Structure 1
Amino acid sequence: MDNERPKHAFIRERTGNHMKIGIVGVGHIGKTVAQKLSAAGHDVKVANSRGPETIGADVLATGAQAVTVGEVVRDVEVVIVSIPLNRLPAFAPALSDMPGDAVVIDTSNYYPSRDERIDAIDAGQVESLWVAEQLGRPVVKAWNAIGSDSLASKGAPAGTPGRIAIPVAADDADARAIGMALVEDTGFDGFDAGTLTESWRQQPGTPCYCTDLTSDEMPAALAAADPARSPKRRDLAVAAITERIGGGGVNPDAEYLVRLNRALFM
């Protein structure tokens, strides 16, 4: 027992300003997380499927380094995976080069129109449990329940009245605490959303999904989630957004998205 570190000491060591973080995917969410975490003082590497030369200068503007997929998982403490679900099986072998004690954070969401149909999820499997199976590693679910415009523009210092909360779920309490601390470093309250089994409560179509709630509002929203209705609400939101702005990977602005999702999901 004398060699065991108290949990608070472990968390303090792992969530200092110099964590080594690899981010896979520089789309709407991955890009902003990379910018914010590198600005907060972390050692951030980023990679995509097309190669480091294709990563824009804006992604690297606050200090992140562009590397290959093989390099992004080496010698890191955290790997943040921010790619569509249908690309996860092809990416999974790259994690064999990741340190065994590194924490994997999953930011993804299941959208059948983008990811193709995944029978297990359609049958009710929790999205992040499916992700963990594909990657062969436990995961932390974070940054999935906030819109990309809100993530980029609505961060605020800790203690700011009305600061938006982001739910964070994981089976391992230490890994969950790391995820929450990193969420804090991006300008939002990290909210403890429990285990991955309960993380369906932060999937698309649920009351806390992209509705920009505070920590005080989050418990009621998580409790009100309905597993039968959320996929239908998700698809209604997709249809409304597509009718308004079309497809092509364009995301709506925060004002419209939050207003729409609060009307449909809450």
Structure 2
Amino acid sequence: MNEVVSQEAFVKIGIIGAGHIGGNVARQAVRAGHEVVVSFSRDPETLRAFAAELGGQAVAGTPREAVTGAELTVLSVPWSIVDIALEQAGSLDGTLMVDTTNHFGPGPGPVAGQTSAAFNAARMPGARYTKSFNTLTAGFQAQVVDRPVEDRVVQWICGDDPSAKELLAAFIDSLGYLPIDLGGLADCAVMESPRRPGSVYGEEYRRADAEAVVAAVRAGQPIPPTPSYS
């Protein structure tokens, strides 16, 4: 089984960047009963208004506050300002970071043969780095969150910290998605942008087809053709 779900209870979820993807994660986290701190906006009043709209136990704060005491913190900012967001977050020692970013736009990037995930993990020394929520649009993620268990849509996970991935999987499950562990940072290429043949980026997956992808990646083989669902 590649789905790893624990029953860990989450008390506080940090969000750095409450735009499309980060905003949807925040919305679904509040809906699932988690405490949420949204942060990192050029307009603090807009951030406070968004927290008020979310209701529940949602508050606006700083990136440092989104990290401090959080069970996990979601980084969801444009690639070009990742370093600015991380600088404002401060020390990430022991922090479970969930990176949703994709390598679009200006800014430093991975070298040949290096995944974007591996590059970003190196920018977060001391963090328990994971990658997820980056393959589907925010609109689609919001649209499919209420599906029955048997039809749940996959949120891929990669990272080199098994226990961090277990905690992230429990969080993803609590939101209403299907967590599937793709592997380590070196295996992330198939879930990274851009949308292209031989990748899962931009595509919907459900359990059986996702498990076939994991098997192919672990065998060093091309992944199966993109599935289509009625």
Question: As a proportion of its length, which structure holds more strand?
Answer: 2
* 1:110 is aligned to 2:103: yes
| Partners of 1:145 and 1:202 within 8 A in 2 | yes
Structure 2 CA distance for aligned equivalents of residues 118 and 153 of structure 1: 33
Q: 1:28 aligns with which of 14, 20, 35?
A: 20
User: How far 1:161 sits from its partner (Å)?
Assistant: 2.8
Question: As a proportion of its length, which structure holds more helix?
Answer: 1
Per the alignment, residue 136 of structure 2 pairs with: 146
Per the alignment, residue 72 of structure 2 pairs with: 78
| Partners of 2:37 and 2:66 within 8 A in 1 | yes
| Partners of 2:64 and 2:90 within 8 A in 1 | no
Q: How many residues align?
A: 212
| Partners of 2:41 and 2:47 within 8 A in 1 | no
Q: 2:163 aligns with which of 154, 158, 174?
A: 174
Residues 175-254 of structure 1 mapped to structure 2, 5 A cutoff: 175-204=164-193, 205=195, 206-221=198-213, 223=216
Q: Which one has more relative contact order, counting CA pairs under 8 Å at least 6 apart?
A: 2
Question: Once superposed, what is the RMSD of the aligned Cα atoms?
Answer: 2.8
User: How far 1:79 sits from its partner (Å)?
Assistant: 1.1
TM-score by length of 2: 0.81
Per the alignment, residue 220 of structure 2 pairs with: none
Gapped runs of 5+ residues in structure 2? 218-225
Which segment drifts farther, 53-62 or 40-49? 53-62
Per the alignment, residue 155 of structure 1 pairs with: 145
Deviations 1:77-135 (A, max 9, x none): 2111001122112222334355x332111011112xxx2264534x2310111111122
| Partners of 2:109 and 2:116 within 8 A in 1 | no
Kindly provide the amino acid, as one letter, of the partner of residue 74 in structure 1: T
TM-score by length of 1: 0.71
Deviations 1:160-202 (A, max 9, x none): 3322111111111110011111111221100111111111121
